């Protein structure tokens, strides 16, 4: 299921970013270029993050799930992820250091059930999180999500 | 009895939380508990016995009754422990409690 969403180009690695807004720009880029979201979705995410309490998308362990509502510009249910080695601060908040930022675009509240199930099960796995934390390039990131061995 | 996971948009963080609450209930060996997720704007007191939220919206959710506040939405240890305590607060026996704590 996740493999269907994480195709080439939707799993990104960067050593560092200048801040959370650049992280949002980077992680939404693959979805924009595939036209599964409209540019307004990116603005909606940024607005949501910078609003009071907007850091609720921080799931813990440096992982955040950026998203906005379906009607804010989702064309097709899709997912992208950005991993950085150097943490950035979500909404510039020192309490929210992030190294993995997902962008979820869901067409409706119900359609993404299976996707969320798989994502929740991966993210809640402490051993998997440890693997994720050590990722230092795109190929390693791909392997963490596909479960394949890194042959590079 | 019903657990309701709540976040601002009602489809990302709260959904993950609901799925993890369900996982915790399975691990605790408790059956027949209802779970759901929703957005903060459409929840009112009495919609569920226990509301589950992340720390960032704890304040906004404080008027909703019995509220569990999670530091992390993906820390199964924390979730299982807090769900277990909530079940006991509501008079529900937790079969696997000993192994989990």
Residues of B whose CB is below 8 A from A118 = none
Residue closest to A82 by CA, chosen among A146, A147, A6, A148:
A6
Which CATH number belongs to the domain containing residue A33 in this structure?
A: 3.40.930.10
Residues of B whose CB is below 8 A from A63 = 74
What pLDDT, on the 0 to 100 scale, is given for residue A109? 65
Number of A:B CB contacts under 8 A? Answer: 75
Alpha-carbon span B48 to B34, nearest angstrom: 9
Residues of B whose CB is below 8 A from A70 = 11
Q: Do A124 and B74 touch (CB under 8 A)?
A: yes
Alpha-carbon span A13 to A118, nearest angstrom: 21
- Whether residue B21 contacts residue B52, with contact meaning beta carbons closer than 8 Å, is answered with yes
Quick one: closest CA in B to A105, which residue? B12
Alpha-helix runs per DSSP H in chain A: 2-5, 20-33, 39-50, 113-123, 126-133, 138-146
Quick one: closest CA in B to A61, which residue? B72
With respect to residue A99, please indicate whether it lies within any of the assigned structural domains: yes
The residue that leads in pLDDT, A2 or B97, is A2
Alpha-carbon span A17 to A20, nearest angstrom: 8
pLDDT exceeds 80 at position A56: yes
What pLDDT, on the 0 to 100 scale, is given for residue A111? 67
Q: Do A120 and B15 touch (CB under 8 A)?
A: yes
With respect to residue A112, please indicate whether it lies within any of the assigned structural domains: yes
The radius of gyration of chain B from alpha carbons, rounded to an integer in Å, stands at 12
Give percent above pLDDT 90 in chain A. Answer: 79
pLDDT exceeds 70 at position A83: yes
pLDDT exceeds 50 at position B66: yes
Domain count, chain A: 1
Residues of A whose CB is below 8 A from B20 = 120, 124
Q: Do B9 and A55 touch (CB under 8 A)?
A: no
Interval A27-51 mean pLDDT:
97
Q: Do B19 and A116 touch (CB under 8 A)?
A: yes
Domain spans of chain B, in order of start: 2-88
Quick one: closest CA in A to B74, which residue? A124
Question: What CATH architecture does domain B2-88 belong to?
Answer: 3-Layer(aba) Sandwich (3.40)
Asked if B98 is an interface residue toward chain A (Cβ–Cβ < 8 A), one would say: no
Task: Determine the Cα angle at B9 with ends B4 and B15, to 5°.
Answer: 45
With respect to residue A147, please indicate whether it lies within any of the assigned structural domains: no
What is the band of A3 on the pLDDT scale with cuts at 50, 70, 90?
confident
With respect to residue A89, please indicate whether it lies within any of the assigned structural domains: yes
Residues of B whose CB is below 8 A from A67 = 9, 11-12
ipTM: 0.87
Q: Give the structural domain span for A68.
A: 2-136
Asked if B58 is an interface residue toward chain A (Cβ–Cβ < 8 A), one would say: no
Give percent above pLDDT 70 in chain B. Answer: 96
């Amino acid at each position: 299921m996740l493999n269907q969403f994480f195709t080439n180009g939707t799993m990104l690695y960067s050593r560092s970013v200048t801040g959370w807004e650049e992280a949002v720009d980077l992680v939404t880029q693959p979805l924009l270029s595939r036209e599964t979201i409209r540019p307004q979705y990116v603005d909606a995410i940024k607005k949501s993050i910078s609003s009071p309490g907007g850091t609720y998308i921080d799931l813990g362990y440096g992982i955040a799930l950026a998203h906005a509502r379906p009607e804010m510009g989702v064309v097709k249910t899709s997912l992208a992820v950005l991993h950085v080695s150097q943490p950035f601060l979500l909404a510039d908040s020192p309490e929210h250091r992030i190294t993995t930022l997902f962008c979820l675009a869901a067409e409706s509240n119900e359609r993404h059930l299976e996707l969320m199930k798989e994502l929740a099960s991966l993210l809640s796995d402490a051993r998997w999180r440890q693997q994720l934390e050590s990722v230092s390039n795109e190929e390693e990131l791909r392997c963490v999500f596909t479960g394949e061995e890194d042959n590079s | 009895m019903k657990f309701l996971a709540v976040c601002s948009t009602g489809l990302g963080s709260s959904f993950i939380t609901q799925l993890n609450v369900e996982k915790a209930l399975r691990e605790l060996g408790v059956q027949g508990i209802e779970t759901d997720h929703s957005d903060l704007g459409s929840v009112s007191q009495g919609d569920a016995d226990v509301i589950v939220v992340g720390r960032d919206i704890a304040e906004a959710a404080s008027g909703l009754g019995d509220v569990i506040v999670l530091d992390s939405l993906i820390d199964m240890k924390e979730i299982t422990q807090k769900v277990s305590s909530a079940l006991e607060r509501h008079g529900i026996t937790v079969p696997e409690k000993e192994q989990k704590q």
